[in-house]
Chains A and B, each alone.
Chain A
Amino acid sequence: MNRRIALPLLTAALALTLGGCIEDETIVVPEQTEEQQIFQRYVALGNSLTAGYMSGGINDSTQRLAYPVVLAQRAGASFSIPSLAMPGCPPPLVGVLDTDETGATILERDRVSGGTSSSCALRSQPAPEVVQNVAVPGARMADAFDIDRPGSATNPLTTLLLGGMSQVEAMRRAQPTLVTSWLGNNDVLAGALRGDPALMTPLDTFAVYEARVAGGIGGARPLGVVLIGVVDVTLAPVLQPGLYYWVADSLGFAPKPVSADCAPTDATGARNPLSMNTVSFLAYGDPEVTVVSCDPAAPYVLTREEADSVAERVDAFNSILRQQAMSRSWMYLSSTQVLDQALLGSEGRNRLRRCEFLDNTLTLEAMVFLVETQCPHPSAPNFFGSFVTFDGIHMSDEAHRFLAGALADVIEARFDLTL
């Protein structure tokens, strides 16, 4: 071969060879287990329960106890929260009951670090690049995708946690690999707490909102989605039979006087059916309520029929959620089943104090015994039970761990993992 031909060929060969010497770098992806891959960008939608609201307040400490954080920790995954600076917004209560200077029982007013119910510390810095717990206290199903519509449940935390974005938008921004969604509790809670079922979200409206949220989640194309069923809010220890308040008043730990219409018998000695109406603990905290009453016309009172309608609405919501999960091959976790499991056995009684067997057929001694051993009581863990914090509604760290375990079971089964 003469050099006229050899040289161009050599040039081409050299070019190709040296070109191959250009060394590419690669993206830095830490070696991950399968669990970590699925949890790589886990995003939790929800309301106060998911956000880590406890004892009537929320701050960085309570946020870090929430079940999504616990679940991510179990998976060894990072999980960023919209951390609220101490003492919180508002700071959590430090108890349920207190005594005033006269020794009378009052509702606890002290909050963490001396804050008040209107105190609101801002977000901690530096903020995470992407928020993974996008839950907002107070959020109803519709608020998860639209916070600008008339009547949306906006509050300071709506701005502080997501800065004006909806949960669905924040979720999509995080490009999730796994999503859990526990929404719908606030679509029934206000009706139960206020004693007005009309405050619940109508079923057909809920179905429309739920479909839009599901569409938003599906559009983000996560590897896995768990829908968590609406909790039966009538089981919250903040709701107790009126008789309980009457016994509590008799025992001297009721912060407000209780009307005779909550007594086990009426003036004629007959059983008083009003005593079995459900009354919300919130009646104690409402300055417009001077005497706790069991009259159905009084605020914070649910008749048995009303309580049943709330429970039915919860069932109907859960039916929608379950069907949505099935149609999309998503996972579904029944919060009712989780709660039932938690309440099994003698340990369960102290986890959630409910006056299940308290009724007006019992003797006073029996009623007192039940209140002291099964109902919310100063001697009970956290007053309302070890699964509940001082506001009687929101879960304690123990309950969050329990729920995280139940979620882990569902995810383990779906993906054949060990969390």
Chain B
Amino acid sequence: MRLLGSTGWGHLLVALAALWLAPAGASAQGAGIHTQSGCMTGRNGAGVAHPCQDGSAVYYNPAALVRENGAVSFGVTVIDQAGSFVHDTTGTEVTRVPGSMIVPHGWATYRLSERIGLGLGVWQPYGLSVDWPVCPPEQPRCGTGFEGRFAGYAHSLRGVYLQPTIAYDVIPGRLSIGVGVDLVKGDIEIRRRLDLAEQTTGPFTFSQLGIAQGTDFADVRIAGDGWGVTGHVGALFRVSNGISVGARYLHSVELALDGTADFTQVPTFLTVGPLGTIFPTTMSLDDFIAASGVFEPGGVASDQDFSTSITLPAQAVAGIALQLDPTLRVLLDYQWTQWSQWDQADVDFGVALDERLILDFEDAGTVRFGVDYALSDRVTVRGGFTLAEAAARDASVSPFLPDSERALFGGGMSYRASERLSLDVVAMTMNAASRRGRLVRRESIDETAEQLNGGLYSSDGQLFGATVTYHFGGTR
């Protein structure tokens, strides 16, 4: 067994720290991301009963660390997601702002003894990034802006986990368990426009003064972050030489997020008045708004602090791996994710009125099936598919997260360049069901999908990934 020298560990920690800070975001079910290894993603993430030997067992099953030797790996998954919304009434289609998201991962494992394995991983099991187009400030009624921009037009959420892990072979060669402690950093960013029609001036709303619904007058960026701690356990049981079963449970973590809400006035370029004492003469509406002081320090739309909390849900996975012959392995997993912990989030603003974001998700399952087939000592090909239930209830499909039932297909290949070095590449495609959703904020849990939903969200995507692994300490 070989070790990295102390300098090697130092480089590793620096690299992990860099990954920790890298931007990312994508979603497979709800805001879940399961593409944390080129090898595992080639199997569509199946393999809790037999994780790949690239260190990703820290996530896919901590107990498997006693089944592999040392490895250090780094990789990224690039996710291209596209989506659109078609309005029921107008038939107008708005397309999401295209963009690629990069989800990095990094793993390190070390076999301390025959019965003890250690590991350290940094990865991002939760995240999302959804951008919808809005009109530029100089052309506020361009006609192509996303109508749901007042609920939100750009969202990102990220939960990055750093997990030191230990695994122990309880019954040598048969049963092992693994435990990890997760230090979780979460951050969130929400951008949305504010609708002047809903605001008040004196005893009146601007809507009563004739201002049309959907009149942008401010852009707000809410961004914050926070930390939390949780735990991860796994178990692996080798039934026979060809059959293994495994399970893992990653506990939920509540993140207290603090940050700032930055407001910027968006010009309306509207002229109003004369209208009684409210607009005594013909005047610029923008001047009227600016003169009201809402954007001045202490005003409701002044830059201010905010705080909220969000729970990254628990997830449990169980599965089986069958080694059909020396070159062929099939894997089947079922994952349950406790999305019902995404129920609501209370947002406390320093000056503006506090808000309650109603998420109202429900627990959802995912089935993953994968196949490994070794073409030679150096090359293994992989493939499989994933079927994921939707985590969002019918009334919860929103611009924030237009979640739906989805299927992913993909395959990958491992190439063992040398005894020490291997490369995994993967490509997947996602077919998400088009699903009816809303454009507006949900004000009450009693509001139904029939009352709220106004059109159809569609999305699809492609995913490409690669992981480079440095193996040390031999091969098991």
Q: Is the CB of B215 within 8 A of A11?
A: no
Which of A18-26, A178-186, A295-303, A401-409 interfaces with chain B?
A: A18-26
Is A282 among interface residues, defined by CB-CB distance under 8 A?
A: no
**Cα separation A225 to B42 with both chains bound (whole Å):** 57
**A159-B209, A159-B279 known; A164-B271 Cβ under 8 A:** yes
Contact A147 B385 (CB under 8 A): no
The 0/1 profile, CB within 8 Å of B marked 1, for residues 4-36 of chain A is 100110011011101101111111110000000
A163 touches B143 (CB 8 A): no
Contact indicator A18/B385 (Cβ below 8 Å): yes
| Chain B nearest CB, measured from A105 CB (Å) | 32
The verdict on A25 contacting B456 (CB below 8 Å), with A11-B383, A41-B90, A161-B210 known, is yes
Q: Are B213 and A127 in contact (CB under 8 A)?
A: yes
Interface presence of B435 (CB below 8 A): yes
With A29-B88, A122-B208 already in contact, 13 other A-B pairs whose C-beta atoms are closer than 8 Å: A3-B325, A4-B373, A7-B328, A14-B385, A18-B385, A22-B431, A22-B433, A26-B434, A27-B86, A28-B453, A41-B89, A85-B208, A160-B275
B405 cross-chain contacts in A, Cβ below 8 A: 22-23
Indicate if B170 sits at the interface (CB-CB under 8 A): no
Expressed in whole angstroms, the Cα–Cα distance for A26 and B274 within the complex equals 46
Contact partner, A131, options B212, B282, B325, Cβ 8 Å: B212
Q: How far is the CA of A127 from the CA of B214 in the complex (A)?
A: 11
Contact present for B213 and A129 (CB under 8 Å): yes
Given A11-B384, A19-B385, A163 and B282 touching (CB < 8 A)?
Answer: no
**Pairs across A and B, CB under 8 Å, 20 listed:** A7-B324, A7-B330, A8-B371, A11-B371, A14-B385, A15-B409, A22-B406, A24-B434, A27-B91, A28-B453, A41-B90, A123-B208, A127-B207, A127-B213, A130-B213, A156-B274, A159-B272, A163-B270, A164-B270, A173-B212
CA distance A12 to B385 in the complex (A): 8
For window 384-418 of chain B, which residues contact chain A by CB distance below 8 Å? 384-385, 387, 405-407, 409
Quick check: is B67 within 8 A (CB to CB) of the other chain? Answer: no
Nearest CB on B from A118, distance (A): 9
Please state if A120 and B209 are interface contacts (CB–CB under 8 Å). no
Q: Which residues of A contact B141 (CB under 8 A)?
A: 165, 169, 173
Do A26 and B212 touch across chains, with their CB atoms under 8 A apart?
Answer: no
Q: Is A175 an interface residue (CB 8 A)?
A: yes
Any B CB within 8 A of the CB of A325: no
Number of chain B residues whose Cβ lies closer than 8 Å to a Cβ of chain A: 59
Within 8 A of A (CB), among B288-332: 324-325, 327-328, 330
Which residues of A sit under 8 angstroms from B87, Cβ to Cβ? 27
Q: Which residues of chain B are near A147, meaning CB under 8 Å?
A: 271
Chain A residues with CB under 8 Å of B453's CB are: 28
B137 touches A (CB below 8 Å): no
Which one of B271, B282, B407 contacts A19 once the chains associate, using CB atoms below 8 Å? Answer: B407
Complex CA–CA separation, A127 to B456 (angstroms): 24
- Minimum CB distance partner of B85 in chain A: A27
B-chain residues with CB within 8 Å of residue A266 when the two chains form the complex: none
A65 at the interface (CB under 8 A from B): no
**How many Å lie between the Cα of A4 and that of B324 in the bound state?**
9
In the bound assembly, the distance between CA atoms of A26 and B436 in angstroms comes to 7
Please tell me which one of the listed residues A18, A41, A131, A173 contacts residue B143 in the complex, with CB atoms under 8 A apart: A173
**A64 is an interface residue with CB less than 8 A from chain B:** no
Q: List residues of chain B with CB within 8 A of the CB of A21.
A: 387, 407
A28-B88 contact in complex given A8-B373, A164-B270, C-beta closer than 8 Å: yes
Shortest beta-carbon distance, B374 to chain A, in Å? 10
Docked pose: A318 CA to B250 CA in angstroms: 76
Q: Is B41 an interface residue (CB 8 A)?
A: no
Give me the interface of A with B, judged by CB distance under 8 Å. 3-4, 7-8, 11-12, 14-16, 18-19, 21-29, 40-41, 82, 85, 120, 122-123, 125-131, 147-148, 154-156, 159-165, 169-170, 172-173, 175
Contact B384–A170 (Cβ < 8 Å): no
Contact B435 A163 (CB under 8 A): no
Q: Is the interface of A mostly helix, strand, loop or mixed?
A: loop
> Do B385 and A26 touch (CB < 8 A)?
no
Taking a contact as CB atoms under 8 Å apart, the answer to whether B455 and A27 are in contact is yes
Given contacts A19-B407, A159-B275, contact A165 B456 (CB under 8 A): no
**A7-B324, A154-B282, A164-B271 known; A170-B212 Cβ under 8 A:** yes
Q: Which of A82, A128, A163 contacts B215 (CB 8 A)?
A: A163
- Report if A123-B213 is in contact (Cβ < 8 Å); known contacts: A22-B405, A28-B436, A156-B275: no
> Nearest chain B CB to A216's CB is how many angstroms away?
12
Q: In the complex, what distance in Å separates the CA atom of A112 from the CA atom of B38?
A: 76
Residues from 185 to 237 in B contacting A, C-beta threshold 8 Å: 197, 204-215
Tell me the smallest distance from the CB of B286 to a CB of chain A, in Å: 10
Q: Which of B271, B282, B369 contacts A14 (CB 8 A)?
A: B369
From known contacts A23-B405, A127-B197, A169-B141, infer whether A163 and B211 are also in contact, taking CB-CB under 8 Å. yes
Q: Judge whether A172 and B384 touch: CB under 8 Å.
A: no
| Distance of A25 Cα from B432 Cα, bound (Å) | 11
- A408, B370: Cα distance in complex, Å: 64
The docked-state distance in angstroms from the alpha carbon of A160 to that of B272 is 9
Chain A contacts for B92, CB-based, 8 A: 175
Evaluate whether A15 and B384 lie within 8 angstroms (CB atoms) in the complex, with A22-B405, A163-B210 already known: yes
Please determine whether A22 and B215 come into contact, CB atoms closer than 8 angstroms: no
Q: Does B112 contact A (CB under 8 A)?
A: no
Partner of A18, one of B204, B276, B387, B458: B387
Give min CB distance, B33 to chain A, whole Å.
20
Note all chain A residues with C-beta closer than 8 A to B98.
Answer: none
Task: Known contacts A18-B387, A22-B407; decide if A164 and B208 are in contact (CB<8 Å).
Answer: no
Contact B406 A165 (CB under 8 A): no
Q: Which of B250-279 contact A (CB under 8 A)?
A: 268, 270-276, 279
Given A22-B431, A41-B90, A173-B141, A82-B271 contact (CB < 8 Å): no
Neighbouring B residues of A120 by C-beta, 8 Å = 275-276
B379 interfacial contact with A, CB 8 Å: no
Give A147 to B327 CA distance when docked, in angstroms: 77
Cβ of B273: which chain A residues have Cβ within 8 Å of it? 154, 156, 159
| B285 at the binding interface (Cβ < 8 Å) | yes
Residues in B neighbouring A19, C-beta threshold 8 A? 385, 407, 409, 431
Give the distance in Å from the alpha carbon of A19 to the alpha carbon of B208 in the complex: 50
CA distance A58 to B100 in the complex (A): 54
Once the chains bind, are A8 and B212 in contact (CB under 8 Å)? Answer: no
Contact of B373 with A22 in the complex, beta carbons under 8 Å: no
- Complex Cα distance, B272 from A164, in Å, reads 5
- Alpha-carbon separation in the docked complex, A14 to B213 (Å): 48
Rounded to whole Å, the gap between the CB of B434 and the closest CB of chain A is 4
4 residue pairs, one from A and one from B, having the closest CB atoms = A164-B270, A15-B385, A163-B211, A163-B210
A148, B271: Cβ atoms closer than 8 Å: yes
Nearest CB in chain A: distance from B85 CB, A = 10
- Indicate the member of B91, B197, B210, B436 with the most A CB atoms within 10 Å: B210
CB distance from A346 to the nearest CB of B (A): 44
List the B residue with the shortest CB-CB distance to A123.
B208
